[in-house]
Structure 1
Amino acid sequence: MRSLIRPFAIALLALAGLAGLPILRAASAAEPQIVDGIAAIVNGEVITYSQVRALSAPREKLLRSQFTGNELENKLLELRQLALKDLIDRRLVIQAFKKESYQIPDHFVDQRMQEIMRESFGGDRNTFIKTLEAQNYTLGEFKEKEMERMIVAAMRSHNVKTNSIVSPTKIEDYYRKHHEEFTTKEQIKLRMIMISGQKDTA
């Protein structure tokens, strides 16, 4: 996965400046909130604020029950930064998988779907589908998500076995010495879109 080094380096460096984005701040109730917008663009693929919120929401609920005030804001900020970093990392891994023209056989994904249905819903397909619908997922969308999870798990496992870990400091040093190499289309652009909406009272 050597091809991941360049975009991952840019992702890592870009994340250092994300604390100012509204979606990553634990804003007070008096501040206008963003309904949705672009949190990051990974080689042409958009990551939205709603995707960041969806990933961080379960942990945010727990943090709100444990902390208050500035401590809570700092914890939420850290959590949202990690959520965005994780989403960026996943997109890079999936893009690398597709670039290498790897494939996961459909029957592997179908088998995983059956396992979920059996373990979480007692094998009741109707209950499974109704639960997906309640979460605004179609069966096809959920299957795609599961395939992506399998891709990420497989690629990360392969990467751990075949590559040494590169520290953030080494990545930043490399970037500074080879800055001209990063002036290609293979990059992450960060944008912010302000959309009027109701205040976040969560």
Structure 2
Amino acid sequence: MRKVLLTILALFALSLPASAKIVDYIVAVVNGEPILYSELVDYAKENRIPDLRAARDSLIEKKILLTEAKEEGLTVSDKEVEEALKDFMKQGGFKTEEELKRALKAEGLTLEDVKEKIREQLLVAKLIARKVKSKVKVTDLEVEKVCRKEKSSSVREVYYIFTKDKGKAEKALEVLKAGVPFEKVAKEYSEDPITAKKGGYLGEVRKGTLIKPLDIAVWSTEPGRFNLVQTKDGYFIVYVKSQKSKGCDREKIRRELYMKKFQETLKAFIDELKKKASVKVYI
């Protein structure tokens, strides 16, 4: 229970009481609101940020977002907090508020601490919904563009027989045309010891990944057929066994595009807020 509680407290960024041994001082002031050293240390600990400067920057962003939410006139009702608290308790496996209170007390916290942090989280969420999420749109055209690109990135299952001797290559080609399985011919005729023992298997190949003569041969040969090609190193009989085209999961693509746009829009929004915010940093 204690481990679950600590995990959830970290999720909601609860402020632990500062140690009595810490001499408090102001590390930054955001829009007139001071951030104390003890608050910064607790924030870093709760959010598992080992670098205090990185934790400071993250906490400053949080303060800026809260200030903006208030300036936008956004509020969170007690009812909303209570509903979120129920979810909080459900995640932690707490059946009653009394049970939660006892667990919080053991950590030096109160139920009001939890409610206050829940209120802050909801406030920031409302701000992001209004200023960021409302601006993020993914069109069907954007989804189809990615879909076409994914479909075009086909792979071919390729085998080959390599020999430096032209006569040997032609003999192998005759045997293949007679109907002998490619794998058997490769093991007998190929001078490439690595692929020969695997029946000539090279692997799944994408266009443009092989040397030019082989690449041209692979992608100009219909699946199920083989082709003889000469290179500066010798002779290759290329066999394209099959071709696979990647499927197109449009909903997955839409989600990925949305998340990418959301992250970019959120960063731009926070950067703009930082420009107009009054921030003084002392460490």
The TM-score bracket by the shorter chain reads 0.5 to 0.7
Q: 1:135 to 1:37 in 2, by over 3 A?
A: farther
Structure 2 counterpart of 1:166, from 268, 275, 278: 268
Q: CA deviation at 1:103?
A: 1.4
Query: What is the CA–CA distance in structure 2 between the aligned matches of 1:93 and 1:155, rounded to whole Å?
Result: 8
Tell me if structure 1 keeps the 8 A contact 2:74–2:126.
Answer: no
Tell me if structure 2 keeps the 8 A contact 1:42–1:187.
Answer: yes
Structure 1 counterpart of 2:36, from 44, 48, 63: 48
Quote the RMSD (CA, aligned, Å).
3.0
Q: 1:167 to 1:109 in 2, by over 3 A?
A: closer
What residue is the counterpart of 1:189 in the other structure? Answer: 280
What residue is the counterpart of 1:152 in the other structure? Answer: 124
Tell me if structure 2 keeps the 8 A contact 1:121–1:128.
Answer: no
Query: What is the CA–CA distance in structure 2 between the aligned matches of 1:167 and 1:105, rounded to whole Å?
Result: 25
Q: CA deviation at 1:146?
A: 0.7
Instruction: Name the structure with the higher helix share.
Output: 1
What residue is the counterpart of 1:138 in the other structure? Answer: 110
Q: CA deviation at 1:149?
A: 1.1
Query: What is the CA–CA distance in structure 1 between the aligned matches of 2:112 and 2:22, rounded to whole Å?
Result: 29
Q: CA deviation at 1:156?
A: 2.8
Structure possessing the higher radius of gyration over alpha carbons: 2
Q: CA deviation at 1:96?
A: 1.0
What amino acid is aligned across from residue 190 of structure 1 in structure 2? Answer: V
Query: What is the CA–CA distance in structure 1 between the aligned matches of 2:83 and 2:128, rounded to whole Å?
Result: 21
What are the Cα deviations for residues 47-99 of structure 1, in whole angstroms up to 9, with x where unaligned?
11112211222536xxxxxxxxxxxxxxx4xx322211111111111111111
Instruction: Flag the structure with more relative contact order, 1 or 2, with Cα contacts below 8 A and sequence separation at least 6.
Output: 1
What residue is the counterpart of 1:111 in the other structure? Answer: 83
Structure 2 counterpart of 1:35, from 9, 16, 23: 23
What are the Cα deviations for residues 137-164 of structure 1, in whole angstroms up to 9, with x where unaligned?
2222220111101112232343333384
What amino acid is aligned across from residue 166 of structure 1 in structure 2? Answer: A
Unpaired stretches in structure 1, ≥5 consecutive residues: 1-32, 61-75, 176-181, 193-202
Tell me if structure 2 keeps the 8 A contact 1:36–1:48.
Answer: yes
Which stretch has the larger CA shift, 106-115 or 129-138? 129-138
Q: 1:188 to 1:52 in 2, by over 3 A?
A: same
Q: CA deviation at 1:34?
A: 5.8
Query: What is the CA–CA distance in structure 2 between the aligned matches of 1:102 and 1:156, rounded to whole Å?
Result: 11
What residue is the counterpart of 1:16 in the other structure? Answer: none
Tell me if structure 1 keeps the 8 A contact 2:74–2:123.
Answer: no
Which stretch has the larger CA shift, 81-90 or 126-135? 126-135
If the length of structure 2 is used for normalisation, what is the TM-score?
Answer: 0.40
What amino acid is aligned across from residue 53 of structure 2 in structure 1? Answer: Q
Query: What is the CA–CA distance in structure 2 between the aligned matches of 1:130 and 1:142, rounded to whole Å?
Result: 13
What amino acid is aligned across from residue 41 of structure 1 in structure 2? Answer: V
What are the Cα deviations for residues 93-114 of structure 1, in whole angstroms up to 9, with x where unaligned?
1111111211122211101111
Query: What is the CA–CA distance in structure 2 between the aligned matches of 1:156 and 1:47, rounded to whole Å?
Result: 23
The reply to whether residue 92 of structure 1 matches residue 64 of structure 2 is yes
Secondary structure at the residue paired with 2:268?
coil
Tell me if structure 1 keeps the 8 A contact 2:26–2:36.
Answer: yes
Tell me if structure 1 keeps the 8 A contact 2:69–2:123.
Answer: yes
If the length of structure 1 is used for normalisation, what is the TM-score?
Answer: 0.54
What residue is the counterpart of 1:122 in the other structure? Answer: 94
